[in-house]
Structure 1
Amino acid sequence: MSSLGTDGGGTAHNAAYNTVSGDAVIVGPVLMAQHIEGLRLPTPPPDVPPRQGPMPSRVFVNRTKELADLRDAGLSLAAGPEPGVVLVVGVGGVGKTQLVAQAVRRELHQLYPDGQLHVDLADHRRDGVVDLAAVLGEFLRALKVHKDYVPAGLAERTALFRSVAAGLRLLVKVDDVQHAPEARALVPPRGLLVATGRRVLPSLLMDGAVLIDVAPLDETAGTELVRRLHADADEGTAADVVRLCAGHPLALRAALEWLAARPQPTLDDVVRDLTAGRYGTGDDNGVRKEMAVAKGARGGTGEGGVGEAVDAVLDSVVAGVAGHTRHLYDLLGVLPGTTATADLLTAAGATRVDEGLGELLSCRLAVLVESSDRPRRYRLHDVVRAHARLRARALPEERRRAALRLVVDFYADAAAHGDALVLGDRFRIQPPPGRPLSELGVRGPLFTGRAEALEWLDAERVNLRSAIRVAADERWYEAVWRLCESLWALYHSRKHLADCVESGLLGIEAAQHEARPDVEIRMRNQVARAAYELGDLDRAESQLDAAADLLGPAGDPRLTGVVQESRGLIALARGRSEESPGAAHRRAEEARQLFEHALAANRAVPDPHGIVVQGYNVAQALVAGERWADAFDVLDEAAETARATGDEPMLPRIDLVRARALAGAGSLDRA
């Protein structure tokens, strides 16, 4: 493309001519200028392709046919101009993800050299629906798109992902695919998508996907695995173990690695006791009886006889670990979300956490999650998680609720500290958290500084969202809205807008239950801002209308200010879509008046940060209405207040609006 340089008001001038040509795909700012005296750019991220996904295990047997099928599919699809899809299907825990990891290490990484992306959709699924926008946001950041250039909506993120990946040979690995559209949205334009799931998806096969069916290990392969892990096992006993576990790799490894850590009993003893169903200790018998009832109603953790076999083995392994480890396992079954840290488990009342986690890891009941954030995170395999949650259903209700309350309170305090670091001295309804940040971490603060706080909030996003739902279900309404208010720092910064709407609606209900009109206004405003950024202006306005009806009894004038501010932003957005200059100017004037009301509300408190923000907004409306001189006066006042109160982050934003005003007034050099 080519263009004349333009000023902020859109007026063309002939000082410089700039060209970007060819098949360029541009993500981020492009600087076009005739003369540059000095320029400082941020340090770019490391120029290495992403290599995401679980590491391949050293102990891997058989699967010769499945590996060959994956290799052949990869070779065939890599040779063509179109993207390819492979669907790997099998019961939970049968080894689908490990099979893919082995295939990537052996051959597929050479066919798709530009990177490997991985996601487990279980981390993004709620009520059967996957937040694909969040998944694509993670993919875009892995492909080095700066977070500030990741758009808000699903359609825009999909388009950007396809643009960024258009010239790359990418391998995308997706676990827990349950519906064809989930896979289709993540197919790279010139690469391969390998999706794992528990059932065949006929519509994907009709699209041309290659199907690979992963069955439990047969007796020969299972026996080989047993003897690799337990070298002194005779062939007959090893075969008995395979039959007892129905050839399920997860059950085999859990049973054998638990046994390997103990000098007694022998493998023959384990087989004999598994067959007789004699495992169990005194404090576990009540749980086992309740589990038997629950299993009868639910049908076990897996499919048919395989699920029953896995349940039997997991029962035995859990019964044989140390008491504190068993209690930790039960706690993991109670927790909302998908991962846990030692900090969270300690806050929830667990003891000897490191020892317990170590034993769960050695027994293959838990896995360490690969993560770039500071805390080490642990998760249960989905089959193991189902078993742990089945046990949790058999626990005394009082014990379960007490643990959940500790978890919710931990997240409410931690999120409040994160919000304070990310957004600073903004208006908040909730009081400061009751515990200092230093008390929430086992080995030190959960995070230090704005960047770490935001990364922690983002890493805990799924768990925080689950904590809000649990608090709502348990009718802990104050915790619901406290979490919702604090998470604006995450949702606004990382554009998790669907999460913001979902949690905000729960926050509205919580506020109504507590008869807190001030909180309801805040929650409705957050939903409105998310809808505004998603482009749903009508929904945003309907939420603001409902909030405005509550302003009388709400008290703090800043609540009026936040509603008027949101209305002003909507007016500016509608003005940008107006075709005639006159209509656009009328919208700009409407926005200015709304921002002036918000400014007055913040002056009434007074709230210095709110005064600066609303002055900045008034100036934006004046610039949109081409009232350049008036904008300068407002900007000068806002900048003076920001400097006097230490509100440094607002100064660059003020200067950007000043530059647009200068350009509109014709002072291009100053702009």
Structure 2
Amino acid sequence: MTHNSVAGNAVIAGPLVMAGRVESLTLPAAPPSATPRQVPSPSALFVNRESELARLRATETERRADRTPGIVVVSGLGGVGKTQLVAQWVARALRHSYPGGHLYADLAEVRRHGAVDVGGVVAGFLRSLGVHPEFIPAGLGERTALFRSVTAGRDTLIVADNVRQAAEVRPLVPAAGLLVVTSRTSLPALRMDGAVHITLDPLGERAGVEFVRSWQVAEADGAAEALVRLCGGLPLSLRAVGEWLARCPHLNLADAVRRLGARGLPHMEDGTLSVNAALDLAYASLPDPTRKLYRLFGVLPGTTVTGALAAAAGVPDWDDAAGDLLTAHLAVIAASADRPRRLRLHDVVLAHARETARALPDAERAAGLRAGAEFYTAVAAHADVFVLGPGRFRLQAPPARSLADLCAQETPFTDRAEALEWLDAERGNLLAVLRAAAEQRWYDLVWRMCESLWALYHSRKHHADSIEAHALGIEAAQWAGRPDAEVRMRNQRARAYYETGAHDEARRELAAADELLGTVDDARLSGMIWETQGLVALAGGRHEDAHELFTRALEANSATGDRHGVVVQTYNVGQALLAAERRQEAYDVLEAARATATDTGDDTMLPRIGVVQARALQGLGRPEAATETAIRAAEQAAAMRLHAKLDQALAVLSELSASTRDARLRAACDAKLRQLRRDAGVRPQDD
């Protein structure tokens, strides 16, 4: 066996030793495998849907016989019980079916100005199916392709609630399994995809009376029948009346009939029934703290509320108030991967809560919204520190209140992973609050929240959200007279454009930011802009321009003493040199980056540097040194659980072993790659 010294204090071992090192790599442990079962639990009160349940069962049986993915559309009025029907079917017939799991998404929670971020929904499904976040691609097309690959080998049930258009759910059809859609319209375009359509009508008189009599409330002759007619047979309306009666035991069905009046539920402009009259009764029967929580849902622009948020907005007795809404079937627990319990109102109930809140004095509504916006801004800032570390350059000062003080009832996160999950679970609320704060001209809150949300948007590749949010951040910074914040907002928006391949848009943002650099003092802002300009230039094949821009960014970071920035920009200079085929220069620069990273303890940069160094050595015709460098990068990435960098290092090693015809090393690399990708959820387990 021979050994040869190379730069970086590495020692090149013989082929057998190299293969052995790869074979002995300890891959990051695969996450615990839990089959997702996300469809909401059914209610105990459920009547007269046997024909619809039978049709759902028959459709599912036919799909299994044909061995093809299927689509079922369940349509009906708001409040008619579409979600409840699906929940009952899943609980009764599919509890142990679909080995891929049951995935659920309420599109009302992720709809922005009428449009749904379908890519975000697919990304959430991929994470639920065990795909590591580092392996989820940026674009919708790539995400959809991966989703179909992951679901190809295992039947998966997808339930999409509150769908408005066929385009919102076509990417959600699993390669093997069933997509069930609920909608207020029939979505005729999905018939072209072979969808089976089931219309859910209001309860008939017999079924409605059976439903009402299950309350065991005193009734006069014909009162139950009259109540069913007045409520239009809508289960949600009937349930709201039942809740009112349960809290008013001295009243009976005849009293409810009188309260609703002779004409029953009013109609909205589109001709559909409004359940507001019944919800008015239910709301009036709630205790004061519960009504305050109900109104908070109407004041805030998001869809879910936690105990900490309610406390920040001055709602007392969260546990009792939340329990009241759950008992009344006005709210449900929203499923999420993070710790806090989130409450969500039925979409029809939420609309009523917002109408109720509009009756509040303007000052009270504004105070509730301001409290919510300040809460989210502060907690997002704490999450940003957990995710990206305290050493990251930030324009805003740390929050005045500690996380424990902000969330006295329950700490929402205690480490990086939990903080990222909290941000992702609150993603829709955060963007909605950001919009509302911009409308209220709370400019300081807007740009600060945007700065913190980079931790979420960049880590989880929510680029569409980032582009919208940072447009608001740019405007807020301008109104606030903060050119430094505007530079940061434009840079973060440009990075989102860059990640999605929209390089022209990225260049426009960067050009606008570049014009502001003369008005800001901190050289780190200049370095950020030059770095992003360099990345765009590198992606566009302008290698020499990229080299110049990265060099300027390096000088800016050196001038401010930002040692992590020095490592990153030196690494970027090396990438630009390698792309320009200046391989020896690239290797030397990268070796300097490696030495600085080692001296400063910037360990996460070492595998990144090593992968590019291995490429440089490969181009220089030094396969043994390249192999040693790539193995070292793989070992470092494995030790730090950096899945994507480990994947890259093993891929380079596989190429090198193929070029040197080292069969054992290539077999070892390919085996580790297969195992890593299986554990990361992007290859079938039986592959």
TM over 0.5: yes
Structure 2 residue corresponding to 1:63, chosen from 49, 53, 67: 49
1:492 aligns with 2:450: no
Amino acid at match of 1:491: Y
Which of residues 195, 198, 212 is equivalent to 1:209? Answer: 195
- Give 2:316's match in structure 1, choosing from 344, 351, 362: 351
Aligned to 2:608: 653
1:199 is the counterpart of 2:185: yes
Q: Which moved more, 1:639-648 or 1:43-52?
A: 639-648
Task: Map 1:470-489 to 2 at 5 A.
Answer: 470-489=436-455
Deviations 1:66-105 (A, max 9, x none): 1112122222233224322111100112110111122223
Match of 2:146 in 1: 160
Question: Is this contact kept in 1: 2:218–2:252, CA < 8 A?
Answer: no
> Is 1:170–1:188's contact at 8 Å kept on the other side of the alignment?
yes
Partner residue of 2:112? 126
Is contact 2:243-2:282 (8 Å) kept? no
Aligned to 2:229: 243
Q: Does 1:399 align with 2:364?
A: yes
Partner of 2:553: 598
Partner residue in 2 for 1:28: none
- Asked whether the 8 Å contact 1:426–1:609 carries over to 2, the reply is no
Structure-to-structure mapping, 1:88-237, within 5 angstroms: 88-108=74-94, 112-230=98-216, 236-237=222-223
Among 350, 375, 379, the alignment partner of 1:414 is 379
Relative to 1, partners in 2 of residues 1:647 and 1:264: Cα closer, same or farther, differing over 3 Å? farther
| Aligned counterpart for 1:312 among listed residues 266, 271, 277 | 277
Moved more, 103-112 or 327-336: 103-112
1:432-458 C-alpha deviation (Å, 9 max, x unpaired): 222221211032433111111111111
Q: Partners in 1 of 2:118 and 2:363 — Cα distance?
A: 37
* Partner Cα separation in structure 1 for residue 439 and residue 104 of structure 2: 32
Match of 1:427 among 379, 387, 393: 393
Partner of 1:337, secondary structure, is coil
Partner of 2:27: 41
Which of 504, 507, 511 matches 2:470? 504
Alpha-carbon spacing, 1:212–1:235, altered in 2? closer, same or farther (3 Å): farther
Whether the 8 Å contact between 1:118 and 1:173 is mirrored in structure 2 is: yes
Question: 1:489, CA displacement in angstroms?
Answer: 0.6
Task: Give 1:87's aligned amino acid.
Answer: V
Q: Contact conserved, 2:247 with 2:285, CA < 8 A, in 1?
A: no
Q: Secondary structure at the match of 1:87?
A: strand
Answer yes or no: is the 8 Å Cα contact 1:91–1:303 preserved in 2.
Answer: no
- For 1:655 and 1:366, the matched residues in 2 are separated by 52
Shift, 1:218, TM fit: 1.0
Give me the whole-angstrom Cα distance separating, in 2, the residues matched to 1:229 and 1:75: 35
Of the three residues 566, 577, 590, the one matched with 1:622 is: 577
Distance 2:297 2:408 in 1: 18
Q: Is the 8 A contact 2:340 2:410 kept in 1?
A: no
CA contact (8 A) 2:380 2:423 kept: yes
Secondary structure at the counterpart of residue 540 of structure 2? helix
* Cα offset, 1:463, TM superposition: 0.4
Corresponding residue SS for 2:160: strand
Gaps of at least 5 residues in structure 1 are 1-14, 17-31, 279-294, 576-586
Quick one: which amino acid aligns to residue 301 of structure 2?
P
Q: Tell me if structure 2 keeps the 8 A contact 1:477–1:514.
A: yes
CA distance in 1, matches of 2:184, 2:111: 15
Q: Match for residue 638 of structure 2?
A: none
The alpha carbon displacement at 1:538 in A equals 1.4
Q: Secondary structure of the residue that 1:374 maps to in structure 2? A: coil
TM-score (norm 1): 0.86
| Structure-1 separation of matches of 2:99 and 2:319 | 38
Bigger RCO of structures 1 and 2 (CA < 8 A, at least 6 apart): 2
**Alpha-carbon distance in 2 for matches of 1:625, 1:388:** 60
2:217 and 2:252 in contact (8 A); partners too: no
RMSD: 2.5
CA contact (8 A) 1:528 1:544 kept: yes
Residues of 2 paired with 1:507 and 1:176: CA distance? 30
Alignment check: 8 A CA contact 1:230 1:260 kept: no
**1:256-295 deviation per Cα after TM superposition (whole angstroms, max 9, x unaligned):** 23433554334443334343899xxxxxxxxxxxxxxxx9
Picking from 587, 595, 610, the partner of 2:565 is 610
Q: For residues 489-544 of structure 1, what are the alpha-carbon distances to aligned partners after superposition, in whole Å with 9 as ceiling and x for unaligned?
A: 10000000000101111111112222322211111111111111101111111211
SS in 1 for 2:208: helix
Distance 1:528 1:133 in 2: 19
Deviation track 1:574-603 (CA, whole Å, cap 9, x = no partner) reads: 23xxxxxxxxxxx33322221110011112
Distance 2:617 2:469 in 1: 41
Q: Among residues 483, 493, 497, which one is paired with 1:527 in the alignment?
A: 493
Structure 1 SS opposite 2:71: strand
Q: How far apart, CA to CA, are the structure 1 residues paired with 2:237 and 2:339?
A: 31
Choose which of 564, 567, 578 in structure 1 pairs with 2:530: 564
Give the superposition deviation at 1:34.
7.8
**3-state SS of paired residue (1:670):** helix
Partner of 1:584: none
SS in 1 for 2:163: coil
Q: Report the counterpart of residue 291 of structure 1 in structure 2.
A: none
Distance 1:71 1:460 in 2: 35
Cα deviation 1:589-618 (Å, max 9, x = unaligned): 322221110011112222222222212222
Superposed counterparts of 1:319-468, under 5 Å: 319-424=284-389, 425-468=391-434
Give unpaired runs (5+ residues) of structure 2. 1-13, 630-687
How has the CA–CA distance of structure 1 residues 645 and 417 changed in structure 2, closer, same or farther, with 3 Å as cutoff? farther
Contact 1:75 1:111 in 2 (8 A): no
Shift in Å, 1:410:
0.8
Structure 1 range deviating more: 384-393 or 34-43: 34-43
Contact 1:230 1:256 in 2 (8 A): no
Q: Percent identity, please.
A: 55
